[in-house]
Structures are given as C-alpha cells and as structure tokens.
Structure 1
Amino acid sequence: MGNDDMGTADVDARLAARLAELRSAHGWSLGDLAARSGVSRSTLSRAERAEISPTAALLNRLCAVYGRTMSQLLSEVEETPAQLVRAADQAVWTDPASGFTRRSVSPPQAGLRGEVVDATLAPGADLGYDRPPVPGLEQHLWVLEGGLAVTVREVTHTLAAGDCLRFRVWGGTRFRCLGERPVRYALLVVAP
C-alpha cells in the first residue's frame, strides 16, 4: 500500500472502524474514552467516523489506553499479515500535522514481539508523546540520514547519521528534526 490519497483514505476508514470497535469492545462511551485518554469527545467521535485523520499524538494516547503499540494498532487495520513483507506492500502512514511519516517495514504479528519501523521527520518537525503506548516498551533508534534530538526521561540526546540510541519507554518522549533536511531513522520496537 502506498501513501497516495486513495490508499490513505482507505487506511483512515479502516482505522476509524477499528477505533470504534475497540471502544465498543471495552463497553466505553465516548465520554469514558475521553476521560481515560485526555482527548475530547468530539475529536474521538470525528476520528471514529473518519472525518479527521488522527495525528500521531492522538493515536499514541489511544494506544496507551488500549495497551497497544502504534504498529500493533495499524497492523490491525491491514489485510492478513504475511511472513514476507515486500517493500511495495509495507503500510505507510503520514501525519501531515507533525511532518511524521511512518513505514511499517516488519509489522507486528501474533506470537512475535519485535517490529521494524522506517520513520521520517520533516525539517522543523517536533513530535511529542505524553506517555508510552505500552509502558516498558524497548526501542532501538538508528539514525540513517540527517540529525535528530530525542528526549527520553527528560534527557535530550542529539543523534547524527549512524548513531543508535537504546531505551525503554516509561514516560513522555520527544523527537525533533535537526537541520534543514528531513531526518530518517529506523526504529526497532520490542514489546515487553
């Protein structure tokens, strides 16, 4: 699946349906989910009806409530996961609000704890998450091109091409593109 308008609209529609299914499966009203996630009822309602494309920050809050990584949630809206994932079939999700693009290189699959994500932040992009999607999530971030500032546990690390930062996510994190070119990095995620 590419990131063209038709593909993005299709992913957004399936994602909206999955978000509504998750809330319903928990027996929560929009108000209940709003209280748990800190996201307004109107925003949740619009996301569940595919009236808006959820931002990375919004998905992160919902993943934290549902106990899933973002890749797990996005993989749930894809077709049946395959053992071999061809480049042309890797799901791409873009958050135009933050300048973040995420390719699920090896999406999560039942019985496996690791996944690989190819991420790009646009120049000037500043992406913050107020909580981890799953506490204790292990991440290995390897910068492929450009510069990146990553804040974990209130410590900021400046990374250049080739640098790798390993950490567990227990609280908020922040990712900032440094310089006038996009930063591209591989993120290896291992569920606890």
Structure 2
Amino acid sequence: MRDELDARLASRIAELRVGRGWSLDDLAARTGVSRSTLSRLERGEISPTAALLGKLCTAYGRTMSRLLAEVEAEPPAVVRAADQALWRDGSAGFTRRGVSPPHAGLRGELIEGVLDAGADIGYDAPPVTGLEQHVWVLDGCLELTDDRTPHRLEAGDCLRFRLWGPTRFRNPGPGPVRYAVFVVLP
C-alpha cells in the first residue's frame, strides 16, 4: 500500500507542475530543490521527505494534508483508526497520521504527529499563508518555533497561531513526542 501511495503522490506532484506550465527548472527555482531530485521524485524513484514535501506544498499553495488527501481515496464521514493514512519519514524521525483528513466542504483537519527524540524538522515558509493551526502536545516535549518565536510545549499544552513565516518542530528528548495538529484553512 505504501508503494501505491508513493506512486500516486509522484504522479500528483508531476500533474501539479505540468498544470501550472512549470518546467523542472522552474520548480527547482521556486523550491530550492535540485532538478534531478525533483525529476527522480516525479518518476517515483525516491520517496519524499517531510522537508521536501513542505517545500513542494509551499510552491503549490497546499497543506501537506491536502496534497496527501489528493492521492488517497475519498475519506468517509467516520475515519476508523485502521483506515487513517500513516506516513513515515524515517530519515527525519517523523511519523504522521491523518486522523481526520481533508474532506470536501470542510475547512479543518486533524493530524497526529510523532517525532523521535532529537528529531528536528523545519519548514521555510507556510504552505498557505495565514493557515490557522492548533498544536496540542499529548505526550513528551515539543519545541516549536513559529515565525522565529520559540515555544516549549509540555504534555497538555496547546499553541494556537497562524502561519505567516517559517516553522520548526523539534523534540529535545529524551523520548518521542506525540502531538495533535488541528489545521483550519483561511
């Protein structure tokens, strides 16, 4: 199933580029990702990392969840735990579960994130400027930097903000951090 999702994701990323009339060089200039990496990604030769997907989402003006939802089957009203899409970036130590994925007519979505101890993921720009997020730490400790403002969140803490600039999610350890992100489109 993971290979099928990666193949559909590669195809969708290529469709988005072609649909805008961009060459690989154009997309490389917009994302800072090499042309060869983008080409290999679109051909399905490599799986994207969270950071790479973040850069592509910014270029296309989409949230990561929305992009992933475009390659997944239409979700039902009740999303059973066994049916929630799970995506892992092993190199970054990040696992993402689409608890309540994007759905036609709805503006919100709920994501569960788990960062391994020491994991550090930065996003250069918001995928959608002004995107509202609520980050609720369920277990562990999360250091979240929102537009250069650092926040240290412990279990039970919730940070509410709009995305205007870069963000960084860091787990200082010693164990994993598990958190929920509620995303509301502007």
Report the Cα offset of residue 48 of structure 1. Answer: 0.6
Report the Cα offset of residue 160 of structure 1. Answer: 0.6
Report the Cα offset of residue 84 of structure 1. Answer: 1.5
The CA deviation string for residues 70-98 of structure 1, in whole angstroms up to 9 with x for no partner, is 00000001012221111111101111121
Report the Cα offset of residue 10 of structure 1. Answer: 1.7
Q: Secondary structure at the residue paired with 2:87?
A: strand
* Unaligned ranges ≥5, structure 2: none
Q: What is the rounded CA distance, in whole Å, between the counterparts of 1:114 and 1:40 in structure 2?
A: 33
- How many residue pairs match? The answer is 186
> Which is worse superposed, 26-35 or 67-76?
26-35
Report the Cα offset of residue 178 of structure 1. Answer: 2.1
Question: 2:121 aligned with 1:166, yes or no?
Answer: no
TM-score, normalised relative to structure 2? 0.97
Report the Cα offset of residue 66 of structure 1. Answer: 0.9
Question: 2:32 aligned with 1:46, yes or no?
Answer: no
Amino acid aligned to 1:103? R
* Unaligned ranges ≥5, structure 1: 1-6
Identity over aligned pairs, percent: 66
Question: 2:70 aligned with 1:70, yes or no?
Answer: no
Question: In the alignment, what sits opposite 2:136?
Answer: 142
The CA deviation string for residues 44-70 of structure 1, in whole angstroms up to 9 with x for no partner, is 111111111101111111111111100
Picking from 147, 157, 168, the partner of 1:153 is 147
The CA deviation string for residues 8-32 of structure 1, in whole angstroms up to 9 with x for no partner, is 2221111001111111111111111
Picking from 167, 180, 184, the partner of 1:186 is 180
Root-mean-square deviation (Å): 0.9
Report the Cα offset of residue 169 of structure 1. Answer: 0.6
Q: What is the rounded CA distance, in whole Å, between the counterparts of 1:147 and 1:82 in structure 2?
A: 33
Question: 2:42 aligned with 1:27, yes or no?
Answer: no
Report the Cα offset of residue 188 of structure 1. Answer: 0.3
Question: In the alignment, what sits opposite 1:93?
Answer: 87
Q: What is the rounded CA distance, in whole Å, between the counterparts of 2:152 and 2:74 in structure 1?
A: 38
Q: What is the rounded CA distance, in whole Å, between the counterparts of 2:135 and 2:99 in structure 1?
A: 14
Q: What is the rounded CA distance, in whole Å, between the counterparts of 1:153 and 1:37 in structure 2?
A: 19
Q: What is the rounded CA distance, in whole Å, between the counterparts of 2:33 and 2:171 in structure 1?
A: 26
Q: What is the rounded CA distance, in whole Å, between the counterparts of 1:38 and 1:110 in structure 2?
A: 31
Q: What is the rounded CA distance, in whole Å, between the counterparts of 2:174 and 2:6 in structure 1?
A: 30
Amino acid aligned to 1:129? Y
Q: What is the rounded CA distance, in whole Å, between the counterparts of 2:9 and 2:64 in structure 1?
A: 11
TM-score, normalised relative to structure 1? 0.94
Whether the 8 Å CA contact 2:74–2:103 is kept in 1: the answer is no
